[in-house]
Chains A and B, each alone.
Chain A
């Protein structure tokens, strides 16, 4: 079922357009910085100022600029469609009158959504890295802590950052899956999932609500920055992983409880 669900997700024309559009961002960013020069040190989102210094900073800057809105948006669209899309097509009922059962079908859909989430991060990082080496110098890079790291080490950092940004979106994806189990409108499910992600970011910006910050699903989204220190500072990374795991389990449980007993009328 998992392979067939992946085929449903990766053949969906809309999802392919999403992958294409997210690939445009690092290209745009690389070309603009190459032509116009980077911002002065300290300007722009994380790593913007470093783009011209080393190839590996273009993919990281692209991930950084997209993490707040564009990646959650695309993840919400794909995960919100997971069950609602099949419900709207009328194909969900045909899957459910077969032996596998609702939970296993839900699992296949949830895992597919997570895989696509990682794919989005991989496309951004992959395109950014290749273009980074085309436009900007390779070779040793200087970490945020001021130490030199080899190219291989730099690429490894990019891969880790990509994985971390992808995994940081798992909570959003599982919100999408959970909402998707209630509705046959993918649009509604995607909108709600995105709203949850943005609301989390907005709340974290309100000082009076700083007490609940650690519980917000977006609280440690910036933790990939710490991968570029040497030695790496992993406290934030682990907290992020824990945060994502916690919220993913909560929303997965909501999806299972609802989808497991819901009347399928479409």
Chain B
């Protein structure tokens, strides 16, 4: 499959620190690609480099087959949402969207249809003539999504599209992304919400402190991070510490422990030998959250 986005050794230094550190990435055409990482991981700066807002210190970007200055000539095939909504607060949603079309060189008389359909798709028809300054945060987010959807695109780059939305708004956005994917579009979506990525993404990449720590299709990541089986066992203190299990949580007289699938027979034998009862099994799929914590670690340290 051809790559909608291909990034090689992308590096950006800002104010003395390396915000994006030789990131290489391929986003296959037709994928829903989750770009994951905590706040401050370098996701937004990477997205700004994809779109030519920020110039890389090193490395290259290829967007829909175009490189360097040629990227401008394919920007009309890209719908983007970058770090939340941006708008002229005293102009209406219609006028703000009209400006965006103007910046694409669309003539005034050709704009109305695109504006109406984008406004309708995000449910802002009734508020379309109100100035944006009177919108709620969720409505502003919807406006930003409308901006990305203005015309039919081949690639959508969406930075934190569900920020500020209520749960039903989040679900609408997820459905929208799935609809786009179903019609063969590529969606590159950055988020720090792993559960969201879990639901919609066919591929994911993890960023941490400017570096790409893992990337691939969901199946590839499952292979890379081998399946564990989760057991519920009776808990008799630290007698399990020498056994090939990883304690996930202790709950009174019971505990949940994880065992690598290929070590399961040994582990079971040793548990029984140690007088521990196995009370039940659980689904052993590693969630994105577990993979993420394994790769990135916990904590909120921002460099």
B100 touches A8 (CB 8 A): no
Stretch of B71-79, B170-178, B230-238 at the chain-chain interface = B71-79
B86 touches A4 (CB 8 A): no
Contacts of B96 in A (CB 8 A): 91
Count of B residues near A, CB < 8 Å?
A: 34
Interface of A is mostly: helix
B52 touches A263 (CB 8 A): no
* B:59-112 near A, CB below 8 Å: 72-73, 75-76, 78, 80, 82-91, 95-96, 98-100, 102-105, 108
Taking a contact as CB atoms closer than 8 A, the residue among A89, A90, A101 that contacts B83 in the complex is A90
Nearest-CB residue, chain B, relative to A86: B88
Taking a contact as CB atoms closer than 8 A, the residue among A1, A8, A265 that contacts B88 in the complex is A8
A11 touches B86 (CB 8 A): no
* A:84-141 near B, CB below 8 Å: 86, 89-101, 105
Instruction: Return A94 CB to nearest CB of chain B, in Å.
Output: 5
Task: Answer whether A96 and B84 are a contact pair too, CB < 8 Å, given A4-B102, A7-B95, A11-B90.
Answer: no
Taking a contact as CB atoms closer than 8 A, the residue among A4, A89, A264 that contacts B98 in the complex is A4
Per the bound structure, the CA–CA distance linking A13 and B88 in Å amounts to 12
Q: Is B51 part of the contact surface with A, judged by Cβ < 8 Å?
A: yes
Q: Is B53 part of the contact surface with A, judged by Cβ < 8 Å?
A: yes
Nearest-CB residue, chain A, relative to B108: A3
Chain A contact-residue range equals 20 to 34
Contacts of B147 in A (CB 8 A): 94
Per the bound structure, the CA–CA distance linking A92 and B82 in Å amounts to 11
Contacts of A90 in B (CB 8 A): 83-87
Contacts of B108 in A (CB 8 A): 3
Contacts of A8 in B (CB 8 A): 88, 91, 99
Over the window 47-85 of chain A, the binary record of Cβ atoms lying under 8 Å from chain B Cβ atoms (1 yes, 0 no) is: 000000000000000000000000000000000000000
Contacts of A210 in B (CB 8 A): none
Per the bound structure, the CA–CA distance linking A54 and B166 in Å amounts to 67
A92 touches B48 (CB 8 A): no
Q: Is B8 part of the contact surface with A, judged by Cβ < 8 Å?
A: no
Nearest-CB residue, chain A, relative to B80: A97
B54 touches A265 (CB 8 A): yes
Contacts of B53 in A (CB 8 A): 93, 96-97, 263-265
Best-buried of B80, B85, B88, B104 by chain A (most CB within 10 Å)? B88
B87 touches A98 (CB 8 A): no
Nearest-CB residue, chain A, relative to B144: A94
Best-buried of A11, A97, A105 by chain B (most CB within 10 Å)? A97
Taking a contact as CB atoms closer than 8 A, the residue among A12, A101, A263 that contacts B54 in the complex is A263
A97 touches B51 (CB 8 A): yes
Task: Answer whether A261 and B104 are a contact pair too, CB < 8 Å, given A8-B88, A89-B88.
Answer: no
Taking a contact as CB atoms closer than 8 A, the residue among A7, A12, A99 that contacts B105 in the complex is A99
Task: Answer whether A94 and B48 are a contact pair too, CB < 8 Å, given A3-B108, A8-B88.
Answer: no
Instruction: Give chain A's interface residues, CB within 8 Å of chain B.
Output: 1, 3-5, 7-8, 11-13, 86, 89-101, 105, 261, 263-265
Other contacts beyond A96-B53, A100-B102: 8, CB < 8 A:
A8-B91, A11-B91, A12-B90, A99-B76, A99-B104, A100-B103, A264-B53, A265-B54
Return 27 A-B CB contacts under 8 Å, by A number: A1-B99, A1-B102, A1-B105, A4-B102, A7-B99, A12-B90, A89-B86, A90-B85, A93-B82, A93-B83, A94-B82, A94-B87, A96-B103, A98-B103, A99-B72, A99-B73, A99-B75, A99-B76, A100-B103, A100-B104, A100-B105, A101-B72, A263-B53, A263-B55, A265-B14, A265-B48, A265-B53
